[in-house]
Each structure stands twice: as C-alpha cells, then as structure tokens.
Amino acid sequence: MTKTLSKDEALFQFLLRLGDNTLVLGHRVSEWCGHSPVLEEDIALANTALDMIGQTQFWLGLAGEVEGKGKTADNLAFLRDVWDFRNLLLVEQPNGDFGQTMMRQFLFDAWHSIMLGRLLKSSDQRVADIAEKASKEVAYHLERSADTVVGLGDGTEESHAKMQAALDLLWPYVGEMFVGDEVDAEMVKADIAPDPASLRDEYDALVGRILADATLTVPDSKFAHKGGKTGTRHSEHLGHILTQMQWLQRAYPGATW
C-alpha cells in the first residue's frame, strides 16, 4: 500500500516526529523528578525535561497549524492514541537506572543536535526558527549527557559495567534514526529537512569519540528495531506512558487550569 503524500501531509508527519520525540522523552525524563541519585542531577533532569516539553509545544503547535484542522499542541499531545505517535522507539524505552537514562539521553542528544543543526537551513522558515531556538538548549543537553557518559563509563568497575550494559541494550534502537521513508523523501524534495541517512557519518563520529573516551565498546551489530517513527510498531512501553500522561484529558475532556 503506497499513497502519495502531499507536501503538507508529509510536513505534518515530519513535525509529529520531531514533537513526539521531545514529548515522549520529556515525559520519560520527568519521571525522575524527586527520584535522582543527587539533588543536582534531579534538577538537571527536570530542566532538560522542561526544555523538551517546551520544544514540543513549538513542534506540535506548528504541526496543528500545518494540518489545518484547528488542533492545538495540547490536542495532539493528549488526544492521540499509540498508533498515531511518531516518536523513535529509543525515547519510549524505560528509564532503567540513572546510567541507562543518561545513555539514552546521550544517544538521542547526539542525533538531535545534528538534526537541528541541519534544520537551521530548512526552506521552511517556521521550522528553521524552532530549530534555532531548540539547538541552543540541546547544546547544553549534549554537553551534560556526554560528560556523564564519560564520567560513568570511565568510572568505577561497577559504573563501567552498567554503562556498557546500557549501551548494549539501547544500541539496537539507534538505527531507526537514519531510516528514511516517503515522508523524508518529500521533506528532502521540498528542501525542508535532510535525508536521515545523511546524518549517520557525523553521528557515528561524534558518538564514537565520546564512547571511546568513556572506555565503552560500540556493539558490532547494526540490527535496528523499527516502527516508532512510522507508528506501525511501537513497543509496549508507549501505551503505559500515554495512560499516565493523558488520563486527565481523557477523564475530564477539555479540562483547563
């Protein structure tokens, strides 16, 4: 089954992907609030989550505008079901321990910073403006997650073992970032966004350098779980996130502060 997407239909999907990544990861990271190993990390995680939720408001706000059906960012965040979400599988994975959370953050931040850097040159000014804003924040996210991965990877025997286990667990979710489809092809054609595959070399170089500093070994396998960004095969975890995130709007439709 293939149907031809119009430019705006493809742009809508593309914006959902960006917004759902930051929404789902922002929600995941916010689960740490009040539970982190030390106060400083608790605050840092909460601030990172806040940045991502803020970016979500921009991406999903624009998605609603492009779709043209009068939906707000809140409508899109709280009233869609699992199969309508377009986030990468990586960001819906459980937090695990602190090291696993920071490894997930680093693997995402590295891709996010490269992607936003490319979007600065988007032919769609609205996309470029949001990327300009978000990329400044993500530079801080990446600096912190990379430092933490190095600190824990090149740390004690126990922290090293935990970080290697986190990398082995999460690495199969990295490949999905670079798989393109008809939405991406349409974005490339319109000069709105880059071909996802074109980010891979820069990503591998950046991630390889940090993981080497962290004395961690990148797994050999290039096997990639797929189905998040297309929405066809989310992991079982997303439904649980949405249950928690959406219950209020589902139980009391239209409730406001």
Q: Which is nearer to other proteins, 92 or 137 (CB)?
A: 137
197 binds other proteins (CB under 8 A): no
137 binds other proteins (CB under 8 A): yes
Q: Which stretch binds other proteins (CB under 8 A): 65-73, 105-113, 129-137, 153-161?
A: 129-137
Report, in Å, the least distance between residue 49 CB and other proteins. 8
Report, in Å, the least distance between residue 47 CB and other proteins. 4
Task: Please identify which residue in 35, 136, 189, 250 interacts with other proteins, judged by CB under 8 A.
Answer: 136
Task: Please identify which residue in 12, 14, 32, 58 interacts with other proteins, judged by CB under 8 A.
Answer: 58
- Of 100, 105, 122, 231, which is closest to residue 176 (Cα–Cα)? 231
Report, in Å, the least distance between residue 62 CB and other proteins. 10
- 8 A C-beta contact, residue 24 and residue 87: yes
5 binds other proteins (CB under 8 A): no
Rg of the chain, C-alpha, whole Å = 18
Quick one: tokens of 102? 């920071």
233 binds other proteins (CB under 8 A): no
- Of 106, 206, 92, which is closest to residue 148 (Cα–Cα)? 106
44 binds other proteins (CB under 8 A): yes
123 binds other proteins (CB under 8 A): no
Burial of 129 (0-12, 13-18, 19+ CB in 10 A): middle
- Of 207, 242, 245, 237, which is closest to residue 91 (Cα–Cα)? 237
Task: Please identify which residue in 79, 128, 179, 188 interacts with other proteins, judged by CB under 8 A.
Answer: 128
Per CB under 8 A, which of residues 86..115 are in contact with other proteins?
none
Task: Determine the straight-line distance between the first and last CA of the chain, rounded to whole angstroms.
Answer: 43
165 binds other proteins (CB under 8 A): no
Quick one: tokens of 121? 């040159």
3-state helix, strand, coil in the chain (%, to 5): 70, 0, 30
The number of helices, as runs of H, and strands, as runs of E, in the chain is 10, 0
For tokens 């377009």, the residue is 86
Task: Please identify which residue in 1, 4, 6, 40 interacts with other proteins, judged by CB under 8 A.
Answer: 40
Contacting positions for other proteins (CB under 8 A): 40-41, 43-44, 47-55, 57-58, 125, 128-130, 132-134, 136-137, 140, 143-144, 147
